Amino acid sequence: MAAIRGTVEIDIENCKGCELCVVACPQKCLKLSTGINKQGYHYAVLFEDTCTGCVNCALVCPDAVITVYREEKKTMKKVPLETVRDSAEIVAGTESPSTK
């Protein structure tokens, strides 16, 4: 079984059951429910744990009722580019011949 890297929250009462998200999901982890919501529509549900958080479903949903969550990398930190540039300047400065 694949590890969960993403998941979705669907506002089922406002889903119109258009199925666009089901078709758009590359992981095929969405489907329409057998039950109906208060508006009388079969609503979309996540039924597999293979969601990658790709957001395709949220992008195609005409009613914007899907919220996507994606697991963040916990061990990797982004290195600010300015820090790298400053270090490079310091090294370049010490290696440059003196102009005096």
By CB under 6 A, name the binding residues for ligand SF4: 6, 8, 10, 15-21, 24-25, 27, 29-30, 43-44, 46, 51-57, 60-61, 63, 65-66, 68
Residue 79's alpha-carbon distances to 71, 83, 85, in angstroms, are: 19, 8, 11
Nearer to ligand SF4, 19 or 89 (CB): 19
Q: Report how far residue 8's alpha carbon sits from residue 92's, in angstroms, rounded to the nearest whole number.
A: 49
Measured from the CB atom, is 63 or 92 closer to ligand SF4?
A: 63
Q: Which of 33, 52, 53, 51 is CA-nearest to residue 43? A: 33
Residue 35 CB, shortest distance to ligand SF4, in Å, is 13
How far apart are alpha carbons 22 and 97 in whole angstroms? 64
Shortest distance, position 77 Cβ to ligand SF4, whole Å:
25
55 to 27, 78, 82, 85: CA distances (angstroms): 11, 22, 31, 34
Residue 21 or 76: the one with the smaller Cβ distance to ligand SF4 is: 21
Closest to ligand SF4 by CB, 69 vs 90, is 69
